[in-house]
Chains A and B, each alone.
Chain A
Amino acid sequence: MGNVSSKNFVPRSRKFVRRNQKSFFQHKHDRKYLTSIMSAVKRAQQWATFARTWHLFDATWQNPFDSAQVIIKHLMGLHKPIYHPMNDCGDHVVVMNSRDIALPGDEWRKRVYFHHTTYPGGASWTLAWELHNKNPTLVIKKAVYNGMDGNLQRRHTMQRLHVFPDDKIPEEILKNISNQIRYLRPVPTRLDHISPEEVENYPKIVDYPKQYILR
């Protein structure tokens, strides 16, 4: 064990062994070799296994409800082989550009968020576009929150979700990020963002009639 020079390294591993002494090694003859039961390499492997990864998700033109399923998977650690409901192995997810999320069809007008103040007549219904006007992070936050099972873990899992309305992410959070979650639907390109040459030289499907006057 004395092979690693870092100070905060050795005591932690001993602490781990001591805590689990009773449950793992009940035979009294095992005791002398308890302190060296986990090598430094194994401890490092454990550290790597339970490391919390920080993922970045760009919500531009993404459906928040479809994205929520992917975000939940990463927040809860469902994508890991070590996953277990009682195993705290969830990752962090940073969502950027939440203002630019896209809803299908007329959902901005049809989706309603309900709230009740618990006072008589305290019910209120807010349309999705109204909510998005008030707080551009709430639609995706609520989508993730409602996408999870309602248990005691849910609010703790939500603490690992960081939503930003635009691409201005604080530097200290940006430094943590080490992975990007792939978008679910491709971001469409606006015609005015394509160069005129490309528009002009794109293969044409139909031609104008001979005497046609362009307008």
Chain B
Amino acid sequence: MSSLRTCARAAIRIQKLTSVIYTGERGIKRWVAPTLRVINKRKAKLGPQPEPRRSNFLDWNYNAEIFAFNKRLSENFDVELLQQAFTHRSYVAQEEQKQREVGIENPELSIKDNTDLIVEGKCLTSEIVERYLRQALPRLPEEGILKLKDYLLSEEIVAKVSVQIGTKDIILSEDHPVRQETLVNTFFALVAALARSNDVVHTSFFVRDFLIATLSDKEILSIWTPSHPFQTLDAILNREKRGSADFRLTAQTGVNTILAAYQVAVYSDQQFLGIGTGETVQVAKNIAALDALQRMFGIADFSRPIPFNLTVDVSSQRTENLPLTKWCTENLKHTVGG
């Protein structure tokens, strides 16, 4: 009997345990609505408010934020360098102005700003990105590599990365809300600070993991497209001593409708090169040529994805990829091999 009782007790306990599981609820409770309505009304009455500065909040602890930044990214920034990377020239000027207003003639602040870090970081990032792209995409022509580099180092992309690693609130700058340019400069300063704290190889990992990795979900052809696919394809085939591009209509449907679709495939010496679809035969031919090129350059949908685990050697000699005017499989072997 007692064993039965213990069993029952155990069962009750298990039930209690399972009932702890939190179930989320959707929507707002009926009785909350009037309050929310009033709050919203008051907000509307006040008009648009300036974005609050996070550092003005009572619970703001700058040192803790700096420490957390380091830990969050699993990096070994030198704390002083890290603080310097976040401090912009405009902030220092603002502080000096404040002291002057108080009455101090020659304000002497021991704060270092990040002006030289920015310049240094910009060069370093550019170098790392360029070398990494060449290593990761050896078949892509040099034109494409440069365009990809421009894309990665563009203000929009770097600023986005900068925001996403959590610099926005820690930046010490005059402007508020923080301008894109400031965000970008901070990222470059961080790169330089990391290079000084650690070494260049480690910095290249930082750039690879946060900046170059944004390419993972991008279609490379949407960033760079060869400008004259027909001529480019013909020139490449000519250089490879293969027959000229032979376009064949492989499928068509709804020819008499506005939704006509033509499928054209390119062949050279009976060898399939690429396939394209379009609303007219001409468009389809263009796409087919582009498809053939992207297959050659190894940037098609089904090609091996860009590797994000390479190590770049910044100190080694610079080797450029083949430009479009010299691109052919034979030359490629020499470059990639050597």
| A contacts B directly (C-beta below 8 A) | yes
Q: Which of A1-44 contact B (CB under 8 A)?
A: 1-6, 8-9, 27, 29-33, 36-42, 44
Bound CA–CA A119/B287 (angstroms): 61
Distance of A51 from chain B, by nearest CB (Å): 3
Whether A40 contacts B290 by the Cβ 8 Å rule is yes
Encode contact with A along B290-312: 1 for CB under 8 Å, 0 otherwise: 11001000000000000000000
A53 CB-CB contact with B under 8 Å:
yes
- Residues in A with CB closer than 8 Å to B222 are 36-39, 42
* A6 engages B282 (CB within 8 Å): yes
- The answer, yes or no, to whether A54 is at the interface (CB within 8 Å) is yes
Q: Which residue of B lies closest to A177 (CB)?
A: B253
**A8–B283 Cα gap in the complex (Å)?**
10
* Set of chain B residues within 8 Å of A175, measured between Cβ atoms: 255-256
B259 near A40 (CB under 8 angstroms)? no
Contact call B229/A53, Cβ cutoff below 8 A = no
Cβ-defined contact, A3 with B226, below 8 A: yes
Question: Given the complex of chains A and B, what is the CA–CA distance between A179 and B276 in angstroms?
Answer: 19
Q: Which residues of B contact A92 (CB under 8 A)?
A: 254
Is B278 in contact with A47, judged by CB distance below 8 angstroms?
yes
Question: Does the CB pair A53–B254 fall under 8 Å?
Answer: yes
A40–B287 alpha-carbon span in the complex (Å) = 7
The smallest beta-carbon distance between A132 and chain B, in angstroms, is 30
Among B157, B226, B279, B282, the most chain A Cβ lie within 10 Å of the Cβ of B279
Interface of A is mostly: mixed
Residue in B223, B252, B276, B283 whose beta carbon sits within 8 Å of that of A6 in the complex? B283
> With A and B bound together, what is the CA distance between A48 and B284 in angstroms?
10
- Shortest beta-carbon distance from B299 to chain A in Å: 10
- Which residues of chain B (42-101) have a CB below 8 Å from chain A? none
On whether A3 and B159 interact (CB within 8 A), knowing A32-B154, A39-B222, the answer reads no
* Contact indicator B219/A42 (Cβ below 8 Å): yes
Contact B160 A29 (CB under 8 A): yes
Do B227 and A2 have beta carbons less than 8 Å apart?
Answer: yes
**Residues of chain A contacted by B157 (CB below 8 angstroms):** 29, 33
- Find B223's partner among A33, A47, A52, A172 (CB 8 Å cutoff): A33
Known: A30-B156, A45-B277. Contact between A5 and B286, CB under 8 A? Answer: yes
Asked if B126 is at the interface of the complex by the 8 Å CB criterion, the answer is no
Q: Which residues of B contact A36 (CB under 8 A)?
A: 222-223
Residue A211 at the chain B interface, CB threshold 8 Å? no
Residues of B within 8 A of A124 (CB): none
Please, which residue of chain B has its CB at the minimum distance from the CB of A178? B253
Contact indicator B256/A4 (Cβ below 8 Å): no
Min CB gap A10→B, angstroms? 10
- Selected from B156, B219, B225, B257, the residue in CB contact (under 8 A) with A52 is B257
Instruction: Tell me, rounded to whole Å, the shortest Cβ–Cβ distance linking B53 to chain A.
Output: 20
Say how far A37's CB is from chain B's closest CB, in angstroms: 6
Partner of B225, one of A6, A40, A53, A179: A40
Chain A residue at minimum C-beta to C-beta distance from B286: A4
When distances are taken between beta carbons in the complex, the residues of chain A under 8 Å from B227 are 2-3
Check if A176 is an interface residue, CB within 8 A of chain B: yes
- Tell me the complex Cα distance, A36–B226, Å: 13
Q: Are B287 and A54 in contact (CB under 8 A)?
A: no
Known: A4-B283, A52-B253, A53-B254. A44 touches B278 (CB 8 A): yes
Q: Is B205 located at the chain interface by the 8 A CB criterion?
A: no
Contact between chains at B256 and A44 (CB < 8 Å): no
Contact across chains for A41 and B263 when beta carbons are under 8 A apart? no
CB pair A51–B253 under 8 Å, yes or no, is yes
Q: Does B180 reach chain A (CB closer than 8 Å)? A: yes
Cβ of B32: which chain A residues have Cβ within 8 Å of it? none
Question: Which residue from A6, A27, A45, A51 sits with its C-beta under 8 Å from B254?
Answer: A51
Q: How far is the CA of A52 from the CA of B227 in the complex (A)?
A: 30
CB distance from A169 to the nearest CB of B (A): 12
Instruction: Tell whether B206 is near chain A: CB-to-CB under 8 Å.
Output: no
Return the contact of B228 from the options A3, A29, A51 (Cβ within 8 A). A3
List B contacts of A5 (CB < 8 A).
282, 286
Bound-complex Cα distance A80 to B290 (A) = 26
A47 touches B254 (CB 8 A): no
**Chain B contacts for A38, CB-based, 8 A:** 219, 222
In Å, the complex CA distance between A32 and B291 comes to 25
B251 at the interface (CB under 8 A from A): yes
Additional A-B contacts beyond A29-B159, A42-B219, A44-B284 (19; CB < 8 A): A2-B227, A3-B227, A3-B290, A9-B278, A31-B156, A33-B151, A33-B157, A36-B222, A38-B219, A38-B222, A39-B222, A39-B225, A40-B221, A44-B283, A47-B279, A51-B253, A51-B277, A54-B254, A175-B255
Q: List 22 A-B contacts (CB under 8 A).
A: A2-B227, A3-B229, A3-B290, A6-B286, A29-B163, A33-B223, A39-B225, A40-B287, A41-B221, A41-B276, A42-B221, A44-B276, A44-B277, A44-B278, A48-B277, A51-B259, A52-B257, A176-B254, A176-B255, A178-B251, A178-B253, A178-B254
